[in-house]
Amino acid sequence: MEPITRRGALTLGGLGLAGVVVGGAGLLWTSSSANTGQVQSGRAFAQPPELRSANGLLQVRLDVARASVQVGGHSASILSFNGGIPGPTLRLKAGDRLGVTLRNGLEEPTNLHVHGLHVSPEGNGDNPFVMVEPGETFDYEFLLPADHPPGLYWYHPHHHGLSAGQVFGGLYGAIIVEDPVPIEAARERVLVISDITLDGRGRILGASAMEQMLGREGELVLVNGQVNPRLTARPGERERWQILNACVSRYLHLRLDGQRVQLLGVDSGRFGAPETVDAIVLAPGNRADVLVTMVDGTVELEALPYDRGGPGGMMGAGERPRSGTSTGRASLATLTVAGERVAAAPEVPIQRTPRDLRGRAVTARRELTFAMGMGAMMGGSGSMMSFTINGREFDADRVDTTVEAGSVEEWTLKNTSPMDHPVHLHVWPMQIVESAGRGPDTAIWQDVVNVPARGQVRVRIAFDDFVGRTVYHCHILDHEDAGMMGVIEVR
Ligand code: C2O
Ligand code: CU
Ligand code: CU
């Protein structure tokens, strides 16, 4: 029997779960508990339904509501876009117009953000200040520039104070911007990786104040909503995998031992030529675009431990985050390669080399300091600590950073806390110019940049194409909800 201990204070926004207590049934589903046998895994890999643009337009309706789905062979009551987890994959081309009619069927406000897309933050565009009240509908419109970079992007709610709970509950989906020159692959797969904790009756467990401070990590890690799905391929085949870390706080340190893995790029930052890698680390919000060339045998896609720090002396106690199940490895999927050998795939076409801002004049330099401090036990956020950028918590009515349109800025992202913070800026990607005291050899572009505990990273940003007000924040969504977010206005 699970005592009412660390999960004693359960909250999940206003979803009516506050006060729900894990009873005698306990955490039936945890992959780490003795009840592992209860979770069914090993079903055939499946992908979310796909909605594809035609003639430059994709018009979709996304219904946000509670839904009952099967997770690991049990029925679970989760939050969903259009009834499933993940939501449908939206497939676009550069230059397309994406229209989304979002209907809020929850009992609390929500909204929609298209993470990583280079689109306007104004009006009914990628505007994180929009709020869609329960029962209401909002029409979003996103217009992708004709030269929008190809790759994997995603959508999720972005309502300050409710983001972590809503994403954890199941609200996420992939957006693919297709390559102008397709990369030949036997198969294209999208892997949306998320984590969730469900109680014995299939209800989502909220996070305690401590878990919110650390950043909540679910006990089950899902791939496209499945527990350890099974993939099959033939030797020699080259597959394209687009992998999204949709977890609220969990870092994914991924390995696929025994297979040839080439990284095309992270986020929208495509490399000039693919890089052969043996591991990939994705912070929350990051995406990896990879080619897997199949070698005979059965291997696991594994998430290894990743140490993202802890409160250290700040909280007294030594509770650590559990990224990648720090006690061991988590198997996310099983790949079996067998059968007749297939002829090698043709060379990957040369990719458009990303631009390099290191040769450009910098208009302004700024320092953003991400800090954790002892905060009051606040009623609203339930946070024991304050999470600040340059000493301030988020305020939607204050502009923290004003930038001139068209300028190139250099930002030093400093982390004075004992935990990593994955820093994300909307609309404009960041080029990493210095990390761990070193400058990379090539131009590395990402929209989520991990700033390690007590470390710093320097980035450059070109504020091209759009004006308007948007945000930057820590993508551990519990930290964002607790205030680690700032407002930027480009004009
Ligand atoms: Cu993926 Cu501001 O978020
Ligand atoms: Cu974003
Ligand atoms: Cu953080």
Q: What is the pLDDT of residues 371-417, one digit of tens each?
A: 999 765 544 444 578 999 999 999 999 999 999 999 999 999 999 99
Q: What percent of the chain stands above pLDDT 90? A: 80
> Would you state the pLDDT for residue 262?
97
Which candidate, 381, 380, 406, 402, places its Cα nearest to that of 463? 406
Ligand 2 center from residue 473 Cα (angstroms): 9
266 vs 431: CA distance, rounded Å? 12
Ligand 1 within 6 A of 255 CB?
no
Which candidate, 245, 249, 223, 224, places its Cα nearest to that of 86? 224
Ligand 2 center from residue 267 Cα (angstroms): 11
> Would you state the pLDDT for residue 65?
98
Positive or negative CA dihedral for 395, 434, 280, 303? negative
Q: What is the largest CA-CA distance in the chain?
A: 64
Ligand 1 within 6 A of 158 CB?
yes
> Would you state the pLDDT for residue 376?
55
Band of pLDDT at residue 8, cut at 50, 70 and 90: very low
Average pLDDT over residues 69-77: 94
Atom of ligand 1 nearest to the CA of 471: 2
299 vs 121: CA distance, rounded Å? 42
Ligand 2 center from residue 291 Cα (angstroms): 25
- The answer, yes or no, to whether residue 438 has pLDDT greater than 50, is yes
Quote the Cα angle for 23-28-32, to 5°: 125
Which candidate, 104, 100, 61, places its Cα nearest to that of 79? 104
Ligand 3 center from residue 308 Cα (angstroms): 10
92 vs 179: CA distance, rounded Å? 10
Atom of ligand 1 nearest to the CA of 448: 1
Atom of ligand 1 nearest to the CA of 158: 2
Ligand 2 center from residue 80 Cα (angstroms): 19
Ligand 1 within 6 A of 159 CB?
no
Shortest-distance Cα residue to atom 1 of ligand 1: 115
Q: Which two tokens stand for residue 405?
A: 């349109």
> Would you state the pLDDT for residue 13?
25
> Would you state the pLDDT for residue 27?
40
- The answer, yes or no, to whether residue 479 has pLDDT greater than 70, is yes
Shortest-distance Cα residue to atom 3 of ligand 1: 115
Task: Point out the least confidently predicted range of 6-15, 232-241, 242-251.
Answer: 6-15
Average pLDDT over residues 5-10: 27
Which ligand has its closest atom nearest to the C-alpha of 115?
2
Ligand 1 within 6 A of 424 CB?
yes
Q: Which two tokens stand for residue 81?
A: 């876009």
> Would you state the pLDDT for residue 383?
53
Ligand 1 within 6 A of 115 CB?
yes
Ligand 3 center from residue 2 Cα (angstroms): 29
Ligand 3 center from residue 474 Cα (angstroms): 5
Task: Point out the least confidently predicted range of 258-267, 311-320, 403-412, 419-428.
Answer: 311-320
- The answer, yes or no, to whether residue 20 has pLDDT greater than 60, is no
388 vs 230: CA distance, rounded Å? 42
Ligand 1 within 6 A of 93 CB?
no
- The answer, yes or no, to whether residue 198 has pLDDT greater than 70, is yes
Ligand 1 within 6 A of 469 CB?
no
**pTM, whole model, 2 decimals?**
0.91
Ligand 2 center from residue 475 Cα (angstroms): 8
Atom of ligand 1 nearest to the CA of 426: 2
Ligand 1 within 6 A of 426 CB?
yes
Between the ranges 4-8, 186-190, 316-320, 343-347, where is the mean pLDDT highest? 186-190
Ligand 1 center from residue 137 Cα (angstroms): 21
Neighbours of ion ligand 3 (CB under 5 A): 421, 474, 476, 479
> Would you state the pLDDT for residue 22?
31
Atom of ligand 1 nearest to the CA of 473: 2
Between the ranges 162-171, 351-360, 435-444, where is the mean pLDDT highest? 162-171
- The answer, yes or no, to whether residue 449 has pLDDT greater than 80, is yes
Band of pLDDT at residue 315, cut at 50, 70 and 90: low
Ligand 1 center from residue 120 Cα (angstroms): 15
Average pLDDT over residues 154-175: 98
Residues 6+ apart with CB under 8 A from 343: 236
Average pLDDT over residues 1-28: 29
Q: Which two tokens stand for residue 232?
A: 């099959």
Neighbours of ion ligand 2 (CB under 5 A): 115, 426
Atom of ligand 1 nearest to the CA of 154: 1
pLDDT averaged over every residue in the chain: 89
Ligand 1 within 6 A of 253 CB?
no
